[in-house]
A and B are shown apart, each in its own frame.
Chain A
Amino acid sequence: MQAVAIAIPAIYRSTVGKKAVMAVTGGILVLFLVAHMVGNLKIFLGAGDFNHYAEWLRTAGEPAVPHRTVLTLTEVVLTLAVLLHIWSATSLALRARAARPVKYESRKKSHARGYATHTMRYGGVIIALFIIWHLLDLTFYAVNPLGSSATPYDRVIADFAPDRWYITVWYVVAVLLVGLHLWHGAWSAFNSLGWRTKRNDGFLRGLAAVLAVVIAGGFVAVPIAVTFGWVG
């Protein structure tokens, strides 16, 4: 154990180690996203179920552990994961910039992988801004039209009301970016951890694509359904 503890900072300093950290933290975030998405979809079961679920998030584990223990622990892990993920992404991006001080004159067209690969960095920045907005909206209620006295269900319905269509657009764009991020990212993560082989590559690409589509689809369903009046 002690040897491993000493080794980790050295591993992290390497370009391969930074990608491994991104893969592990990205994986934690993906697991969270799946759970979060499933929770959101409860809105289709009605106000009672949805509000009860929101309440359960805070009471989970009681009475074995005090109120909000599980939720607070999850928040700590997620915050650490996001910070490490962004830290690694930034440090690799700075390294990449330094690695080619003189650019090519003839603009190099990309010959490989599609669109998703080239949106990882700025797409990630937009996702980070979205996470901040989203927390201010539905966690701290600062930018929510109803605020803390309403129920979680009413806050969502008010958030995506038809006359606030621009908020719906913003959520949909951000979530589609998350899907794009995972299209490349989830596949890339298997590589970063060294699990990809010639034979499983098609499977891993498929898995990443399914994950991206399911997560993006599951998340956009809620704001769209509210704006079009299918729930609420």
Chain B
Amino acid sequence: MKLTLRIWRQTNASDKGRMVEYKLDDISPDASFLEMLDVLNEQLIAADEEPVAFDHDCREGICGMCSLVINGTPHGPERNTTTCQLHMRKFKDGEVIDVEPWRARAFPVIKDLVVDRSPLDDMIQSGGYISAPTGTAPEAHSVPVPKPDADRAFEAAECIGCGACVAACPNGSAALFLGAKVTALGLMPQGQPERWDRVVSMLDTHDDAGFGGCTLTGECTVACPKGIPLDVISRLNSDYLKATAGGKKK
């Protein structure tokens, strides 16, 4: 395949940054998007130029490190698929492909396509955990969980924390991420002791980080590589209002 790439290049956080055009010949349609960028980087290194910086780790769709807004869509054109699992056969021969970093005030660019996503970690630290004794794991069946709750919690727990929801949201909100965490933990018996503190602390951290508020555009769930459903946000709202206006948070 022949491709024209327009890639965001930015030397460091204080650089203004710009789109730079690159031409590639002979890309295999079976290459993944990141492998295609690897080929580009080898050519850049051979030509003594600075390779394009981008985040990645597992390359099998589970770690949440890869990002990239491809032709205006986080994780590219294929639904429910991370950038690392996206293949070049999804593009046309000769296509011009724009590649940009996640854009959010809370996610400043570190270099090229790499952004600082630590506000997501800050939210986890402020409440996305349960208290559990260390040592031997308890017998899994000793605490019964209703099957529908277990299924919904599992669905929400699929969130890999990539931040595509923020990148897609016209309001720059991380409500889908937050809803996924609050739902996954709040549906489990083990998540009950911190339930009301969790939702308030996590939302406070979210708002302080400069994310926007959710207006239910639904862009997040379409961009989410794990298809986290929009209704987790309703649960987030419900738990927050019960914790605060409902006086559940002690």
Contacts and interface: CB of A to CB of B under 8 A. Distances in A.
Decide whether A and B assemble into one complex.
yes
Interface of A: 3-4, 7-8, 10-11, 13-20, 92, 95-96, 98-113, 117-118, 120, 184, 187-188, 190-198, 201
A19 B221 CA distance: 19
Nearest to B79: A111
B204 to A, nearest CB: 7
Interface majority SS (helix, strand, loop, mixed), chain B:
mixed
Interface stretch (B37-45, B68-76, B84-92, B129-137): B68-76
Interface string B42-75: 0000000000000000000000000001011100
A11 B71 CA distance: 38
Interface residues of B, number: 53
B72 A106 contact: yes
B105 A99 contact: yes
Leading 10 A-B pairs by shortest Cβ distance: A194-B238, A99-B172, A15-B213, A112-B218, A99-B212, A96-B171, A106-B98, A196-B234, A194-B237, A106-B72
Nearest to B6: A105
B117 interface: no
Contacts of B214: 15-16, 19
Nearest to A188: B216
Nearest to B223: A111
Given A11-B244, A17-B244, A194-B241, A112 B217 contact: yes
A193 B216 CA distance: 12
B112 interface: no
Nearest to A91: B213
B213 A95 contact: yes
Contacts of B216: 113, 117, 184, 187-188, 191-192
